[in-house]
Amino acid sequence: MNILLLGSGGREHALAWKLNQSPKLSKLYCAPGNAGIAQVAQCADIQVTDHAGILNFCKNNKISYVVIGPEGPLVNGLADELAQAGIGAFGPSAYASQLEGSKGFTKDLCAEFNIPTAAYKRFTEAVSAKAFLDVMSIPVVIKADGLAAGKGVIIAETREQAEQAIDDCFAGSFGDAGHEVVIEAFLEGEEASLFALCDGQTAMLLGTAQDHKRVGDGDTGPNTGGMGAYSPAPVMTQEMINRTMSEIIVPTLAGMHSRGHPFKGILYAGLMLTKNGPELIEYNVRFGDPECQVLMPRLKSDLLELMLASSEGSLLEHDAQWSDECALTVVLAAKGYPASYEKNTIIEGIEAAEKDGTVVFHAGTAKDGENLFAIGGRVLNVTALAKTVKDAQAQAYEGVNAIQWENGFCRKDIGWRAVAREET
Ligand code: AMP
Ligand code: GLY
């Protein structure tokens, strides 16, 4: 079958790399893609926001299934539009995508179905939001309700900061995402992520991961899309995994099903491991980036077959095989990221980095003739698979050292928590 993959990040390169191994695949297309994806798929210059262009491309290229990488098109109803046109899609409907698209929606679902999460309240104007602060302890968390490219969450350390954050949200700092605000209690613990593949009724555990959101070593500096990740996350013991599945994922699926909007696709649970057990911080309805880059190398089964089973509602008949090894990815970003950075700087040495089982997934790259250029903030994901996180870390940094990119930088300590845990 002909498949169209949508997106242009490291996540989509990892998906393209894995989909390309499927015996079910005839031809893989990607829109818009990047220079790495172009090695395994035919790229088309269509943006993921251009739904009409995507539908047209599907008709002209006999595409029977579309794999939607990022959340934007899911929240905007692309899976529904494709279904109406008789084209299959991997990913949830617009209604079900509210699990990522509206924090208030998810909190209400948690309240209704008794899913552990921080205490909260939703507000549509500032006066009552500020009054609610009277009953909240500090720190307190202020969230813009909608999609805000990972920036709509403020951990306020003082009452003044909390009031300022409320004013900022309603004043439009996060655009439309801030027309509603969720105020919630601050949860203490360690963060980890769990990924489940869902078919509306059944959830299949894909794996766990931890990422490094801050730009600087020692988890310092501003937040980014993620500077590195590893899978599995040693902090997610079998007991934590079982509790997350039974207390969070399964009731979410049952709740969505009972509302008449079954959830199909990836449920990516951002968790806080509190002293009471796992609590839900947030859901995403797609793979994480860079978490996907560490899940795909560990998957031995056919990804396309599993995705199709998720869409068809037949996951119970399937089983996924996973490598026992650990994967770790180091993000190379353009100097200046997450603030402004230079574009069109030259990169060399990717082939040398890919020795011995290391894979380099591309994010913001483009090719001009034989030359590879950086055109984005996060640019490469150097990914290694090994017996321990420590070995995977050493192997990934060997790959990083083989790459010549004057304008690039990376964190030097990806995986520190897991390595420390392995050593105790
Ligand atoms: P989100 O965009 O919802 O993932 O939030 C971004 C980050 O804010 C999370 O990864 C957490 O580090 C932090 N965060 C969000 N909600 C809470 C909470 N209730 N308690 C503590 N930290 C939180
Ligand atoms: N790495 C965080 C995300 O994909 O949302």
| Alpha carbon of residue 104 to chain centroid | 20
Ligand 1 binding pocket mutation candidate from 99, 121, 155, 213 (most atoms within 8 A of CB): 155
Percent of the chain with pLDDT over 90: 93
Average pLDDT for the chain: 96
Contacts of 377 by beta carbon, 8 Å cutoff, 6+ apart: 224, 225, 333, 334, 337, 338, 341, 364
Question: Which is the closest atom of ligand 1 to the Cα of 148?
Answer: 2
3-state secondary structure of 341: coil
Does pLDDT of 377 surpass 80?
yes
The Cα 120–Cα 127 span in angstroms is 16
Does pLDDT of 150 surpass 80?
no
Q: What is the mean pLDDT of residues 124-139?
A: 93
3-state secondary structure of 11: helix
Does pLDDT of 146 surpass 80?
yes
Q: Which of the four pLDDT bands, split at 50, 70 and 90, describes residue 177?
A: confident
Report CA(285)–ligand 1 centroid distance (Å): 16
**pLDDT value at residue 299:** 98
Q: Is the separation of the CB atoms in 166 and 130 below 8 Å? A: yes
**pLDDT value at residue 116:** 98
Q: Whose CA is nearest to atom 5 of ligand 1?
A: 153
**pLDDT value at residue 149:** 80
pLDDT in tens, 112-129: 999 999 999 999 999 999
Q: Which of the four pLDDT bands, split at 50, 70 and 90, describes residue 240?
A: very high
Regarding the beta carbon of 99 and ligand 1, being less than 6 Å apart is answered no
pLDDT in tens, 308-330: 999 999 999 999 999 999 999 99
The H or E element containing residue 132 is: helix 126-132
Regarding the beta carbon of 12 and ligand 2, being less than 6 Å apart is answered no
3-state secondary structure of 124: coil
Side-chain-facing half-sphere of 56: CA atoms under 13 Å: 9
Tell me the pTM: 0.96
Q: Phi and psi for 417 in degrees, rounded to 5? A: -65, -45
